[in-house]
Amino acid sequence: MAGKKILLIIGGGIAAFKSLDLIRRLRERGHSVTPVLTNAATEFVTPLSVSALAGEKVYQDLFDLNDEAEMGHIELSRAADLVVVAPATADLMAKMAAGLANDLASTLLMATDKRVLIAPSMNVRMWEHAATQRNLKILLEDGILICGPNEGDMACGEFGFGRMAEPLEIVGAVETAVNDGPLKGRHILVTSGPTHEPIDPVRYIANRSSGAQGTSIARALLSLGAQVTFVTGPADKAAPMGVDLVEVQTADQMLEAVNSALPADAAIFAAAVADWRVANAADQKIKKDGNGLPVLEFAENPDILASVCAGKQKPKLVVGFAAETQNVIENATAKRKRKGCDWIVANDVSPSTGIMGGSENDVTLISEDGAENWPRMGKDQVAQRLAEKIAEALG
């Protein structure tokens, strides 16, 4: 990868010492680092050591006239390919979420037109605090990329989530964010995970999808430089970093989220959408009141894939999945025609295959040109191969 320009904002936390290593690692890989220190950061690392490692001037003060003459804060915020905040303290996250701009770091974060990646670092209680979690949610909605935090022992003697990600993990996230692979400039929509269809406020109907395949597809598309909107039901797998994340519960909500994410260059429908919802879902918890067993009535859910294929905003390439337990190729070939998509990734989800919820997949890619059987491989490899094929098809 060609060297990128990273604007690194170092916040005032004990993990600031790891940012010195981060600077070295980024430079080793050919990237340049322009460092910015908050006032609190100078309590943990000195401007001299930061500038020596970065080989560049350290920026600290919003009202430093020299800096404004050399490079104003607006220009500083735009000259980079990516803005990285490491460590991102609870205070910095709160400022970002609220849109405050009362020092150089927060002003740069408001003024930038580039993507921002934060590596949070704080005590576990501070991380779990409702205010931080609220701020995190806002930042994710704003499209801020997050790396970490990790779980482990903390400098304060406690244990839990809040340790800043390791420098090499942050380098990985930086490179994913600035990647200009063959899908650069392409917007790709991915649905993933199961849906939960409520029976009453505490019970729901679900399926065994873990979201593993959809998550790996999103990650593989990101690694080829795509902008990915990831619409997911409640999955076991955490959504990959760097996607535009939309979390939903039900098929109806997934349809709405998909429609608002369009237009897209391609769409991959990996979600295991419930075919039916409970039409008579109760507003209150259903009680054992001696009046016999509850009777659930079902209504059919919208077919999200079919409706996108039939719609005006159908992406250039639409890929569906076919989860079958018998006559896989025959059923999947018919499904491709019925739903109107370009490709179908067919797989046998019979319990004996261990595919649903497992880490491997055995797929057949069905297109207009026929069926192409892929050898059994990890879901990550299936995803990588599929992403490369998508890049080829989009040209």
Question: Does 22 appear as a known binding residue?
Answer: no
Asked whether the beta carbons of 272 and 194 are under 8 A apart, the reply is yes
Contacting ligand CTP within 253-312 (CB under 6 A): 269, 271, 273, 275, 301, 303-305
For residues 122 and 273, which CB has a smaller minimum distance to ligand CTP in the complex? Answer: 273
CB of 242 to ligand CTP, least distance (A): 22
Contacting ligand CTP within 229-258 (CB under 6 A): 251
CB of 236 to ligand CTP, least distance (A): 17
Residue window 189-228: x/- pattern of binding to ligand CTP, with contact defined by CB under 6 A: --x-------------------------------------
Interaction of residue 178 with ligand CTP, rule CB under 6 A: no
Positive or negative, the CA dihedral 277, 278, 280, 283 is: negative
Strand partners, 244: 229
Distance from the Cα of residue 49 to its chain's centroid:
34
Asked whether the beta carbons of 122 and 92 are under 8 A apart, the reply is no
Residue 266: other Cβ atoms inside 10 A: 24
Question: CB under 6 A: which stretch of 32-40, 42-50, 315-323, 376-384 binds ligand CTP?
Answer: 315-323
Asked whether the beta carbons of 96 and 109 are under 8 A apart, the reply is yes
Q: Is 309 a catalytic residue?
A: no
Question: Does 65 appear as a known binding residue?
Answer: no
Report d(CA 231, CA 214) in Å as an integer.
10
* Residue 391, CB-side half-sphere exposure with 13 Å CA sphere: 21
> To 5 degrees, how large is the angle CA 377–CA 382–CA 384?
130
Question: Does 335 appear as a known binding residue?
Answer: yes
Report d(CA 98, CA 90) in Å as an integer.
12
Question: CB under 6 A: which stretch of 19-27, 81-89, 96-104, 318-326 binds ligand CTP?
Answer: 318-326
Catalytic residue among 147, 156, 309, 341: 156
Asked whether the beta carbons of 307 and 257 are under 8 A apart, the reply is no
Residue 317: other Cβ atoms inside 10 A: 19
Q: Which residues line the annotated binding site?
A: 275, 285, 302-305, 321, 335, 339
Q: Which residues bind ligand CTP (CB under 6 A)?
A: 191, 251, 269, 271, 273, 275, 301, 303-305, 320-323, 335
Enzyme catalytic residues: 156
Q: Which residues line the annotated binding site for CTP?
A: 275, 285, 302-305, 321, 335, 339
